[in-house]
Structure 1
Amino acid sequence: MLLYEYVTSEGSDQCYSSSSRVPSQGARGTKFQEENKQQFRHTQTKTGLKKGRKAESSTGKDDIIERKLPKEDEEQSSHTQTKTGIKKGREAESSTWKNDIMETKLPKEDEEQSRHTQTKRGLKKARKAEMSTLNDDIIEAIKVNCKRCHSDVMAQINKVAVCYRDMATLLRENWLNDVIINAYLELIHLKSRTDGRAAKIYPFLSQWYQFVTLKGATLMERWARNTDLASYEWLLFPVNTNAHWFLIGFQPKSKTIASFDSLHGENELDMELAIDALAVMWKKKYGMPFVCQAKVVPVPRQKNSYDCGVYLCYFAYYLSIQPDAEEIPDIDSKEYRHRMVLDLYRGSLML
């Protein structure tokens, strides 16, 4: 089918046919489509090349990174390990150095401590030896005075006057007299009043036994009228039966009474006398009946016939340091005699 296009010029009615080479709308559309296809192919080609180059570049970079990263990681790891190793090495070296210093110092400190301890021990031994020598000199001087001035008073223990002739009973293998017994028990009493480490002890004079035996227990109420007997740990009654010394003790807090006899006698009658005396004083003092029960405290046995008084004093002393003792250990009676001499000479008791 032939298409005609009429072109009218301004002021002219002339027309032209398609044979005059004016392209039709269909021919131009076809050409445009071809040009568009070529343009699209070109654009696709350029886009593809661009993507390909980009992908190639990305792959290349990744390969480079993959090739570089392990090496860098390895170097970094190696560097970290090196630093860690150097740090550990320095720490180990420092620790070894400190240990060497400590090992160097400790023996020196131990040596100084050892010297200090040895010096203290040496001084202690020297003082002990010096004190022993001094004590021996004191005992020898007392022995001389016992012969030269036996009537002179060596010490005044509260109301008890101790003469040199009394001290002679301690320095010889002999029975102790009433003065030594009462004076030493008074030392224990004074110590218990002034030293918080010692138990409170209240001793009666040794004459209580003869007093109760001859006059009865009723008059004993005057012996302790100003004393709170219940406040003491032990009330002590020294007993002398003309041939033997032993001790009777009453413990107020436990309401028990015991006999401390170095010949292990039962002494039941003598304990009854002490109970009668306590009953009178208790009723006068507290207005109540006296109740107690007997108990047995094992004591050592004397090894001769003359140390009973020494053991009596020792039992009283031991009760002052161990008021709840269930048993009393043995002593060297000769050494304890010397100790009693020194305590009486100084007028104080050493616990």
Structure 2
Amino acid sequence: MDPVVLSYQDSLLRRSDVSLLEGPHWLNDQVIGFAFEYFATERFFGVLGNALIFISPEVTQFIKCSSCKDELSIFLEPLDLASRRWVFLAVNDNSDQTAGGTHWSLLLYHHSSNHFAHYDSQRSSGNAVHARCIATRLEPFLGSSSKASFTEEPSPSQQNSYDCGMYVICIAEALCEKARVEEDAAPLCLPEHVITPAYISQKRDEWSRLIRRLAKPSFP
């Protein structure tokens, strides 16, 4: 029995999903997708509005694995990416369209500079290959007539094998805060010495409490 504890926008969280936040566990698509939904709907919509978009991990994986432009159009054209100033995507190292993988990183596209920035808390992970593939797949839908640039940006480093998803959430949040202040800066530089292992642990607790606050009354 794995009951649904929260239905939020397009996200559906079960008890097993929420439990991933409580221990030394790797976060799955559902938890990261919920965080992205919350950022877009509650946390930053009021200050950045439609200037930014968070693409769900499931759709990002589909983008990476699909080589058919017509197939991608069905998913991407309604998102109107050409009108967005910032596009956030969680990159997974899985090689097919099923859920899974072992590592997450963050890919950010900045429209004004036609630039992709990749933030990886474990630079030796090999996720840059997956991020570049996603960037290539997205280019025809970004509204630019030139090829986008791509850089690997400095990122805080995880100290274990399971916190990569939490780093993606925290880095995305920090970058949104920077985007609010530095509207057209690219690439966005992360604030130094903020996203530490202690901060990541604190954020796990905060997200767990937030979900419980939003969840069904029967969820303890």
Pairwise TM-score range, normalised by the shorter structure: 0.7 to 0.9
In structure 1, C-alpha distance between the alignment counterparts of 2:177 and 2:54, rounded to whole Å: 15
Q: Paired residue for 2:132? A: 272
Rate the CA distance shift 1:293–1:229 in 2: closer, same or farther, 3 A.
same
Q: Paired residue for 2:18? A: 167
**1:176-187 alignment runs, 5 A limit:** 176-187=27-38
In structure 1, C-alpha distance between the alignment counterparts of 2:23 and 2:8, rounded to whole Å: 22
In structure 2, C-alpha distance between the alignment counterparts of 1:153 and 1:252, rounded to whole Å: 37
8 Å contact from structure 1 (residues 197, 321) kept in 2:
no
**Residue 303 of structure 1 is aligned with which of 134, 147, 159?**
159
**1:92-241 alignment runs, 5 A limit:** 151-191=2-42, 194-196=45-47, 200-216=51-67, 218=69, 219-241=71-93
8 Å contact from structure 2 (residues 17, 31) kept in 1:
yes
Spell out, residue by residue over 1:134-178, the C-alpha distance to the aligned partner (whole angstroms, 9 max, x if none): xxxxxxxxxxxxxxxx62222212011111110011111110011
Q: Cα offset for 1:276?
A: 2.2
8 Å contact from structure 1 (residues 189, 203) kept in 2:
yes
Q: Paired residue for 2:195? A: 330
Specify the code of the residue in structure 2 equivalent to 1:341: S
8 Å contact from structure 2 (residues 92, 127) kept in 1:
no
**Residue 316 of structure 1 is aligned with which of 146, 153, 172?**
172
8 Å contact from structure 1 (residues 198, 320) kept in 2:
no
In structure 2, C-alpha distance between the alignment counterparts of 1:346 and 1:161, rounded to whole Å: 15
8 Å contact from structure 1 (residues 233, 251) kept in 2:
yes
Alignment root-mean-square deviation, CA: 2.5
Q: Cα offset for 1:308?
A: 0.4
Which structure has more strand as a fraction of its residues? 2
8 Å contact from structure 2 (residues 60, 91) kept in 1:
yes
- Classify the secondary structure of the residue corresponding to 1:225: helix
8 Å contact from structure 2 (residues 11, 34) kept in 1:
yes
8 Å contact from structure 1 (residues 248, 271) kept in 2:
yes
Q: Cα offset for 1:254?
A: 1.6
8 Å contact from structure 1 (residues 237, 274) kept in 2:
no
Structure 2 unaligned regions, length at least 5 = 94-100, 180-184, 216-220
- Classify the secondary structure of the residue corresponding to 2:77: coil
Which structure has more helix as a fraction of its residues? 1
In structure 2, C-alpha distance between the alignment counterparts of 1:192 and 1:166, rounded to whole Å: 21
In structure 1, C-alpha distance between the alignment counterparts of 2:61 and 2:45, rounded to whole Å: 31
In structure 2, C-alpha distance between the alignment counterparts of 1:206 and 1:347, rounded to whole Å: 21
- Classify the secondary structure of the residue corresponding to 2:208: helix
Rate the CA distance shift 1:258–1:207 in 2: closer, same or farther, 3 A.
same
Spell out, residue by residue over 1:319-338, the C-alpha distance to the aligned partner (whole angstroms, 9 max, x if none): 11112432343232110101
- From the CA coordinates, give the structure whose radius of gyration is larger: 1
Q: Cα offset for 1:253?
A: 1.5
8 Å contact from structure 1 (residues 217, 280) kept in 2:
no
Structure 1 unaligned regions, length at least 5 = 1-149
8 Å contact from structure 2 (residues 91, 131) kept in 1:
no
With structure 1 as the length reference, what TM-score do the two structures score? 0.50
Quick one: percent identity of the two aligned structures? 21
In structure 1, C-alpha distance between the alignment counterparts of 2:149 and 2:18, rounded to whole Å: 37
8 Å contact from structure 1 (residues 261, 299) kept in 2:
yes
Spell out, residue by residue over 1:152-207, the C-alpha distance to the aligned partner (whole angstroms, 9 max, x if none): 22221201111111001111111001100111111111136642267843111212
Spell out, residue by residue over 1:234-276, the C-alpha distance to the aligned partner (whole angstroms, 9 max, x if none): 2112112111111111111121111111012464422321222
8 Å contact from structure 1 (residues 246, 309) kept in 2:
yes
With structure 2 as the length reference, what TM-score do the two structures score? 0.78
- Between 246-255 and 222-231, the greater mean CA deviation after superposition: 222-231
8 Å contact from structure 2 (residues 105, 127) kept in 1:
no
